[in-house]
Structures are given as C-alpha cells and as structure tokens.
Structure 1
Amino acid sequence: MNETLGIMQPYFFPYIGYFQLIAAVQRGLVFDIVKYKRKSWMNRNRVLGSKGDWQYINVPVCVSEGALIKDATIIDLACAHRRITNQLEHYRSKAPYFRETLQVVEQTFGTPATHLCELNTRALKVVCEYLGISFNWESCAAMNLDLPPIEHAGQWALEISTVLKARQYINATGGR
C-alpha cells in the first residue's frame, strides 16, 4: 500500500476534524468492526435550534446489545429524512447556505440504505464532494482483514496499518 492511512468510526454528519483527516490521508477506513455504542455520534448530531439551544438530529437504529457498528440497521430512513428536513426548515430564511445544506441532506438520504454505516459513508462522500475533498474510504468489514487478536483499543490502528502496509497512520485531531 505504502500510503497514508486514516481510520474513523462512521459518525453521522461528523465534526470538521473528520474532514481534515479525510483531506490529509490517501486512503481511509470506515471503522465498522467494533461494538456499536449507544448515545454516540454514529446515529445523531446536534444543530442549533430555533431558540439558540441545541437540538438533536438523528437516525433511529435497531442494534442488539454487543452488536458491531456494521450491523446497526436503520428503522425508517424516510421518516428520519422527513424529520431532519423539518428540523432544518427554520433556517430557510436565516442561513446563507440553507439551500446547499438541504441539497447535501437530500443527496445523503436520496438513495435507499438499510444500514447506518452505508448512510453515514454516503454522507461523508456527499459532504466531501461539496467541499472538493477526494474521498477514498472503504468499509473495514468489507475488507475481511486478517487481523491478530486485539487486546486493547489502541492496538487496532497499529494492526490494521501493519496488515495494509501503510506508510503512515494519521489520527484525527483530538483522537486517542
């Protein structure tokens, strides 16, 4: 491979540091082979509400206890799409980039998805296209990597980088 590598869990419309990482690496992995954590940023995010407070936008998922991220299924994509669009509607007359933002949301939800990873990866791709960032990421689960047993969380990046013969592993700002 001999490339720079980034690895991130698939967050739902993630923070700017995620896109800085995407721009900094030649290849990236959507890290979907670890346990799904409830109340994480994988199926939700915050937007500023009409009264200046935070409100959550989310995609309801069905995930059994101990299931992997790749196994999180979307309960009702069309309902989540409508609800998020309605939540953003109060910005129509206030936000200078409302139309563009709504187009990103429409493109993200415009193709059927049954799994959260699929939707979040599409969101990453759509936002990267909008920002002019090259997006060369793939699902870790789909690669069927032959990894040794992982004893602690900090070992994942090292082992994946080793198996893929990455020249350099780059972590997101604030990553551990």
Structure 2
Amino acid sequence: MRVVILQPMYLPWIGYFGLIDIADVFVFYDDVQFVGSSWQQRNRIKISNGNWIWLTVPVMKKFGQKINEVKINNNKNWAKKHWKSIFYAYTRAPYFKDYSDVFEKFYKRRWEYIVDLNVTIIKEICKLLGLDSTKFIFSSQLNVEGKKTDRLINILNKIGADEYISGPGAKAYIEPEKFKKAGIKLYWFEFNHPVYPQLYGEFIPYLSIIDLLFNMGDRSLEVIREGEKNALKRDPRT
C-alpha cells in the first residue's frame, strides 16, 4: 500500500494533487503544529497585470496550536475579498464558467476551522479532477504517538503501508534508515512542473490548482500526470 502524509493546505498547487493521484491512502496530517503565513492558510493566483498575489485566510492563532485547532478570524471579510479576487483574475479564463459555481459556494459558507475549509476544498477539487480512488484519512483519528520520522512510521505501520512517498523538502529531517528497519520503501516525489496555456503573459508556475482548472478544464488531470512522469525516486537507503 502506497501512502502520502501531508498537511491540509489552502487551495494547493498542482503537485499536491499529483501526490493524491499516486497514493492509495492520503493522510491529512492535521494534528501537527500550525505554521503561520504558510501554505496551510494561503496560496497564490495570477492576476490580469501578469503578476501574482497572495490569498490569505486570516486565523486566530495561538502558539503551539495544532492545525485542527486553528480557527478562522471571521471578523475580517476575507471570503468576499478572496472570491472577488478570483473572479476578476479568472473571469476571462476558458473554463471559469464551468467551475465558478463550485468555488463560489466555498466563499458563501461560514467556516470556523481552517482545516475544514482546506479539506473540503481539496476533496471537491479531487471530484472535479476525477481523482476518486484515493482514500482519505486524518492523522488525528489514528491516535498515534511519536515525533518526526518515528511518528510517520507509526502512522504507516498502523495503516499497513509498505511504501511512503514524500516531497523532497522533507529530505532535511527524514531518517531513511528507520524506514528500512520498518520494512517500508521510501520514495521522493520530485514533480516536474508542466507548462500549460495561461492568461496574461509569461507562464508562472507553482500557483494554486485553480489556475490550472480555469485555464485547462477537463484536461487538468492530464497536465498533472505529465508532471508526475519520472517524479518518483526510490531512496536507495531503503
């Protein structure tokens, strides 16, 4: 069984969905410490002048809070502003009308916790992409202890995984020898960001997935899978 463990992010980039695509089980790592001004609460879109801007969900963060404990600051009119920014950025995109109702509804609903907003959006985007074979679970539901690599392995053992896929950013702290000892193969997912037709000048990579959806429509998964080609690299130490 192939497993990915990743924090729930706001309007994630396309590589996030590449990981969902290749996983048998995708674990939302929701009971680790929340990091402010990170992908957990913000992402980027491209606007009509050819530049990009942040969309940031305001939160009421306390030091040491876990992701699933962080509440959204609804005293700020963030939802209306986000949808307005998305509308004006993509209203001329070829597939905006096909998906606009889906996304607009997220911004008409009042959300209390950032994790609920993020996970709901991610699951809905998976439906739009046709990613319906991956099973989703939450790390907070597994009652698994440990820190860093040990906790990852404990989660994998509890699920019954024999393969773990990680983004390359984790190379700095993951301990591959522990995976070998546990009998779990470790792979690095080095996504090759594809270029696709995009509004307003030169192509900008690493934007939110909505940029791909509004520009490519039902071909979006095809683009993601182009980036998945040769992305998996087995760690030779496992």
Q: TM-score range by the shorter chain?
A: 0.7 to 0.9
Report matched runs for 1:59-98 at 5 Å: 59-76=57-74, 79-98=77-96
Contact 2:7 2:28 in 1 (8 A): yes
Residues 170 and 92 from structure 1, CA distance in 2 versus in 1: closer, same or farther, beyond 3 angstroms? closer
Alpha-carbon distance, 1:110 to partner: 5.1
Q: Secondary structure at the match of 1:103?
A: helix
Contact 1:145 1:163 in 2 (8 A): no
Q: Relative contact order, CA 8 A, sep 6+: which one is greater?
A: 1
- Within the candidate set 109, 124, 127, 2:125 is matched to 127
Identity across matched positions, percent: 25
RMSD, aligned α-carbons: 2.1
- Within the candidate set 21, 44, 47, 1:46 is matched to 44
Alpha-carbon distance, 1:107 to partner: 4.1
Q: Determine the structure 1 residue equivalent to 2:161.
A: 166
Question: Which digits, 9 at most, give the CA deviation of each residue in 1:48-88, with x for residues without a partner?
Answer: 12321221112111110111111111112993221111112
Contact 1:85 1:102 in 2 (8 A): no
Alpha-carbon distance, 1:46 to partner: 0.7
Alpha-carbon distance, 1:18 to partner: 0.9
What is the letter of the counterpart of residue 43 of structure 2? N
* 96-105 or 68-77, larger mean C-alpha shift: 96-105
* 17-26 or 74-83, larger mean C-alpha shift: 74-83
**Pair 1:29 & 2:27 matched:** yes
Unaligned stretches of 5+ in structure 2?
Answer: 171-238
Unaligned stretches of 5+ in structure 1?
Answer: none
Residues 21 and 62 from structure 1, CA distance in 2 versus in 1: closer, same or farther, beyond 3 angstroms? same
Aligned-partner Cα distance in 1 for 2:17–2:91: 27
The number of residue pairs the alignment matches comes to: 169
Question: Which digits, 9 at most, give the CA deviation of each residue in 1:106-154, with x for residues without a partner?
Answer: 243455431111110001111000000015212211x14232x32xx33
Calculate the TM-score normalised by the size of structure 1. Answer: 0.85
Aligned-partner Cα distance in 2 for 1:121–1:56: 19
Aligned-partner Cα distance in 1 for 2:10–2:90: 22
Q: Determine the structure 2 residue equivalent to 1:155.
A: 150
Contact 2:43 2:54 in 1 (8 A): yes
- Within the candidate set 101, 104, 121, 1:103 is matched to 101
Q: Secondary structure at the match of 1:170?
A: strand
Calculate the TM-score normalised by the size of structure 2. Answer: 0.64
What is the letter of the counterpart of residue 165 of structure 1? G
Moved over 4 A (4+): none
Alpha-carbon distance, 1:102 to partner: 2.2
Q: Secondary structure at the match of 1:163?
A: helix
